[in-house]
Amino acid sequence: MPSNEQRRQAAKRKLERQLARRAERAKRRRIWGVSITVVAVVAAVGLVYWLVNLGPGDSEAATNNTTPTDTPAENTTDGACAFKENPAEQSDKSPGMPEDPAETPNTGTVAVTLKTSQGDIPITLDRAKAPCTVQSIEHLVTSKFFDGTTCHRLTTSEGLKVLQCGDPKGDGTGGPGYTIPDELPTDLKPAAVGQGAVTYPRGTLAMANAGPSTGGSQFFLVYGDSTLPPNYTVFGSVGAPGLATIDKIAKGGLTPGPNGPQDGTPKLPVEIETAAVQ
């Protein structure tokens, strides 16, 4: 039968073994905790690197599998204007991209005459108002892009009096195969009605669009003060001789379209026979 001393020694050895096992388990937990932390840090650093350097915007799959839509493609020119290709509008009439220098000319004017089936419409492009837009429109004019196109839309309501032109399809859906950046006006007077609206005065030459930075070749000529949001680039003006021609077209009336009885196709057909820089 073991003595009291032997029992104490046995109990002591048992306690020492228990303490040793606990210490070993604690050591393993610390090792696992450090390992997991290191793995998490490495994963986080790798994720940040991927997002910064190899993210979806730059991946080959993201850039090479784009389905043509109304949204412009990401291909751009290298200059100050960064014109964007728009594959959805590519056609046999597309003139290619405009020149895009590092410093777009922003002074001076360009005189253009739209010779139409209803009479001449002289217009003046103003580089100071919208240098990138003028750069593009001059390119389209010299490329003969507008020749043989129609002015497909006329509006005659009290708050909107415009003639819209520049669509190679003639139905409001066409363009040159690229888009230009917005150069929105900041000097138009607030309109008396319409929160946030401004007045585009008679004689204004402005770009049509389908949303931010979607302008292409379609433009509108304002023949009566019009109330609109300041979302349309103003790039020039229409002089008295041109306004006289547009007034005649407006008096001829329109064939209503889906937007109501005061918005449709001019009854007097308006074809831009030639557009030329003077």
- The confidence band for 209, taking pLDDT boundaries of 50, 70 and 90, is very high
pLDDT at 148: 97
Q: Looking at the chain, which runs of residues are DSSP E strands?
A: 84-85, 109-116, 119-126, 149-150, 153-155, 161-165, 178-179, 198-200, 204-207, 219-224, 226-228, 234-238, 254-257, 260-266, 271-277
The burial class, CB within 10 Å (0-12 / 13-18 / 19+), for 259 is exposed
Number of Cβ within 10 Å of residue 175's Cβ equals: 24
In a domain? residue 187: yes
The burial class, CB within 10 Å (0-12 / 13-18 / 19+), for 115 is middle
Full domain range(s) for residue 23? 1-65
Strand partners, 206: 220, 234
Q: How far is CA 9 from the centre of its chain?
A: 86
Quote the tokens at residue 198: 């401004």
Number of Cβ within 10 Å of residue 179's Cβ equals: 24
In a domain? residue 176: yes
Whether residue 215 is found in the same domain as residue 109: yes
In a domain? residue 131: yes
| N-terminal to C-terminal alpha carbon distance within the chain | 125
Whether residue 106 is found in the same domain as residue 191: yes
24-33: pLDDT as tens digits: 666 666 655 5
223-278: pLDDT as tens digits: 999 999 999 999 999 999 999 999 999 999 999 999 999 999 999 999 999 999 99
Whether residue 50 is found in the same domain as residue 117: no
Quote the tokens at residue 135: 């750069």
- The CATH number of the domain where 243 resides is what? 2.40.100.10
Whether residue 203 is found in the same domain as residue 132: yes
Q: How many domains does the chain have?
A: 2
Whether residue 248 is found in the same domain as residue 157: yes
In a domain? residue 72: no
In a domain? residue 74: no
Query: d(Cα 270, Cα 149) in Å, to the nearest integer?
Result: 9
Whether residue 27 is found in the same domain as residue 128: no
94-146: pLDDT as tens digits: 999 999 999 999 999 999 999 999 999 999 999 999 999 999 999 999 999 99
In a domain? residue 78: no
In a domain? residue 163: yes
In a domain? residue 70: no
